[in-house]
Structure formats: structure tokens, C-alpha cells
Amino acid sequence: MKADGIKRLAIMGGTFDPIHYGHLVAAEGAKCEFDLDRVIFIPAARPPHKTKKEMTAPYHRLHMVERAIYSNSHFEISALELEREGLSYTINTVNAVREIHPQASIYFITGADAVLEILTWKNVEELLNVCKFIAATRPGYDLENLEHTLSCLPRQYLKNICTMEVPALAISSTDIRARVADNRPIKYLLPELVERYIFEEGLYK
């Protein structure tokens, strides 16, 4: 992760198990709408809310993200959460990125489902002080629905949460894993190189 001349950057966090076009469309949409110099994909080690579920080995998730983003010069990947011990809290991740890019305004891209969990996160006030959230629409959470839900939040939170409409892609990693397990197609739900990696490595069987 290089600091050169980056004024506005966003973190795209997720388990990426596997990465799919829903993630990529949200990241590219944010890049354009918020005039970002860079989007950094940071695969999560063990998100606090997913401790019970099994997760694919970090190196597989890292390789899949690398394959998914290689053709986009504004996208990069960071293994900083995977390299850190223990649970990954977003506040620690954002602070680590701030140390590398002290001049940059930092955004955090999430799907609408994830932003609604923000209030349950550790240090939410501190988090909203150091970065702005970009909440992307997701099927089941259209812009009106999302803005209505957000309007119930305390006002000091609201000013640091932006919403963004992206083309609705009813794609989730959960569904992709289930499709692979059932021998149903995943083609066109995720980049071809990622699809090939899943089959070559025998993931999700």
C-alpha cells in the first residue's frame, strides 16, 4: 500500500468468500460517485459477527480478490487484517490505513445490510469521526428504504453516512457457495478468473 498523492480513498471490507460482481460494482460505483483515487479491498480475518461460521482460508480469499481486481488500476488489495492477530475491528483497520495515508479523506464502503449493523460495532462514534460511510443499495434495501432506516439514527451519525444507488445485483457469497456445492452455475456472477480459481482449488464443495 503506497501513500503517493492519494487524497481520497475508500476501504472495501468484507470476507470475500468469494468476491463477486456485487462487491466490484459497489466499489466502482463509489470510486466514480465520490471521486476516489483508490479503493483498497481488505479481506477480513474474522469479523466479530461471523465467528461461528467457517471461513475459507485467508490465502484463497486473498488470491480470489487479486484475480478479481487486477484489471482496475484504481483498486488494490491489502492483507493488513489477515496479518493481524485476533478479531478484526473496523476501527483498527481504518486507523491503520490512516497511518499510511495521513493526508487522505477516508471512506468505508458497505452494502446497506452491513451499514445497518454499524450501531452494534465497537467504537462507532470514533469510527464515524475518522471515516465516512458509503452505504450501497442491495436488493431488499432500495434507496428509499435505506434512507428511511438511516433517518432513525442519531443526527451526529447521519452526517457521516452517505448512500449510493448501485445497479441491484442479487448476488451474495452465500448463494455462490451453495451453488457450487449443488453443482449449479456461478458463471457471470463473478469474474471468470475467480470462477476458475474456485474450480481449480476445489473450493465450496
Tell me whether residue 29 or residue 38 sits nearer to ligand ATP (CB atom).
29
Nearer CB in complex with ligand ATP: 28/113: 113
The Cα-based distances of 43 to 47, 62, 86, 140 in angstroms read 10, 7, 14, 24
What's the min distance (Å) between Cβ of 4 and ligand ATP? 27
Q: Shortest Cβ contact with ligand ATP: which residue?
A: 111
The separation between the first and the last C-alpha atoms of the chain, rounded to the nearest angstrom, is: 34
Pairing of strands 38-43, 75-77: parallel
Minimal distance, residue 88 CB to ligand ATP, in Å: 12
Q: Which residues bind ligand ATP (CB under 6 A)?
A: 14-17, 22-23, 26, 110-111, 113-114, 136, 138, 166, 169, 171-174
Measured from the CB atom, is 14 or 191 closer to ligand ATP?
Answer: 14
CB of 46 vs ligand ATP, minimal distance in Å:
13
Looking at the Cβ atoms of 2 and 52, the one nearer to ligand ATP is 52
Report the candidate in 36, 28, 41 with the shortest Cα–Cα distance to residue 77: 41
Smallest distance, Å, CB 77 to ligand ATP? 14
Inter-residue contact 38 to 69 (CB < 8 Å) = no
Q: Look up residue 202 and give its three cell numbers.
A: 476445489
Is the distance from CB of 121 to CB of 36 less than 8 angstroms?
no
